[in-house]
Structure 1
Amino acid sequence: MAGHSKWSNIKRKKGANDAKKSKIFTKLVKEISVAARTGGAEPEFNPRLRLAIQNAKGANMPKEAIVRAINKGDGNNTSEYSEVTYEGYGSNGVAIMVVCMTDKITRTVSNVRAIFSKYGGSLEKSGSISFLFNHKGVFSIPTTDIKHPDDFTLELIDSGAEELENDGEYMHITCAIEDFGKLQKKLDNLCITPNYSGLQHIPHAFVVLSDEALQKLMKLIDALEDDDDVQKVYHNIAIQAEQEKLPFIY
Structure 2
Amino acid sequence: MGRAFEYRKASKLKRWGAMSKLFPKLGKIITLAAKEGGGDPDMNPRLRTAILNAKAENMPKDNIEAAIKRATAKDTANMLEVNFEGKAPHGVLIFIECMTDNNTRTVANIKNILTKHGGELLTNGSLEFMFDRKTVIEFELQEDMDVEELELELIDAGLEEIEAEDGICLVTGDYTSFGTLTEALENMNIEIKKANLERMANSPISITDKQQEEVDKILEKLDDDEDVQRVFTNLA
Same fold per superposition (TM over 0.5): yes
Q: Counterpart of 1:66?
A: 64
Cα deviation per residue 1:62-101 (whole Å; 9 max; x = unaligned)? 1221112112224565242121111011111111000111
Q: Counterpart of 1:57?
A: 55
Question: Within 2, Cα distance between the matches of 1:145 and 1:15?
Answer: 29
Shift of 1:28: 0.8
Cα deviation per residue 1:182-220 (whole Å; 9 max; x = unaligned)? 110111122323332122211111110111111221221
Match of 1:173 among 154, 160, 171: 171
Question: Within 2, Cα distance between the matches of 1:204 and 1:17?
Answer: 22
Q: 1:146·1:152 contact (CA, 8 Å) conserved in 2? A: no
Shift of 1:181: 0.8
**Unaligned segments of structure 1, at least 5 residues:** 239-250
Which amino acid in 2 is paired with 1:225?
D
Q: 2:140·2:169 contact (CA, 8 Å) conserved in 1? A: yes
Shift of 1:142: 3.6
Cα deviation per residue 1:24-73 (whole Å; 9 max; x = unaligned)? 11111011112112211111111221111111111111122111211222
Which amino acid in 1 is paired with 2:41?
P
Shift of 1:151: 1.4
* Matched residues, number: 236
Q: Counterpart of 1:110?
A: 108
Q: Please state whether the residue corresponding to 2:42 is helix, strand or coil.
A: helix
Question: Within 2, Cα distance between the matches of 1:219 and 1:8?
Answer: 21
Shift of 1:226: 1.0
Question: Within 2, Cα distance between the matches of 1:43 and 1:51?
Answer: 8
Q: Please state whether the residue corresponding to 1:209 is helix, strand or coil.
A: coil
State how 1:126-137 maps to structure 2 within 5 Å: 126-137=124-135
Question: Within 2, Cα distance between the matches of 1:8 and 1:120?
Answer: 27
If the length of structure 1 is used for normalisation, what is the TM-score?
A: 0.84
Aligned-residue RMSD, C-alpha = 2.4
Question: Within 1, Cα distance between the matches of 2:143 and 2:76?
Answer: 36
Q: Please state whether the residue corresponding to 2:192 is helix, strand or coil.
A: coil
Match status 1:119 vs 2:117: yes
Shift of 1:6: 5.5
Q: 1:134·1:201 contact (CA, 8 Å) conserved in 2? A: yes
Q: 1:40·1:74 contact (CA, 8 Å) conserved in 2? A: no
Match of 2:223 among 222, 225, 234: 225
Match status 1:149 vs 2:164: no
Seen in structure 2, the aligned counterparts of structure 1 residues 170 and 50 have a Cα distance that, compared at 3 Å, is same
State how 1:10-21 maps to structure 2 within 5 Å: 10-16=8-14, 20-21=18-19
